Amino acid sequence: MTSRPTTVSAVHGALARGVFAVVVLVSLAVLFVPASGVPSAPAGVDKVVHVLLFGVLAVSGRWAGVGRGVLGVVLVVYASVSELLQSLPVLNRSTSVADLLADVAGVAVGLLVWDAVARTRATRPS
């Protein structure tokens, strides 16, 4: 009897895709709320939010089974487009290269975290 390899995405397919969908929806709310709805925070906190948001997008996307390269490219494009759209008058926010760099750093960190967890799980005895 041949057993099918068990991966995180195979075991948690629907849950993983649901979590990823929720994280995407949260990211839309965070990135596209008008300036009047953005809470004030100490300097630098927004960069932490960007890193965490895109890190969670990367981890949850990998958990949902999205390929590493495709996910990385799509998230960097999403980050770039979101920064450009934030300058629209309806949002009254500003485009920030620093925010984009924080987004890209979050994607990289999230992908690296996923890879580290996957390596650890792969080397753990059954």
Report d(CA 20, CA 33) in Å as an integer. Answer: 20
Structure tokens at 90: 């309806």
pLDDT of residue 52: 98
Q: Can you give the residue ranges of every domain in the chain?
A: 9-33+42-123
Q: Which residues contact 52 (CB under 8 A, 6 or more apart)?
A: 106
With beta carbons less than 8 A apart as the criterion, state whether 75 and 60 touch: no
Which one, of 63, 51, 59, lies nearest residue 101 by Cα? 51
Structure tokens at 8: 């995180």
pTM strictly above 0.85: yes
Residue 64: count other Cβ atoms within 10 Å of its Cβ: 22
Side-chain-side CA neighbours of 118 within 13 Å: the count stands at 15
pLDDT by residue, tens only, the chain of 126 residues: 444 545 544 556 899 999 999 999 999 999 999 988 888 889 889 999 999 999 999 999 999 999 999 999 999 999 999 999 999 999 999 899 999 999 999 999 999 999 999 888 888 776
What CA–CA distances, in Å, run from 66 to 41, 59, 106? 33, 10, 17
With beta carbons less than 8 A apart as the criterion, state whether 98 and 47 touch: yes
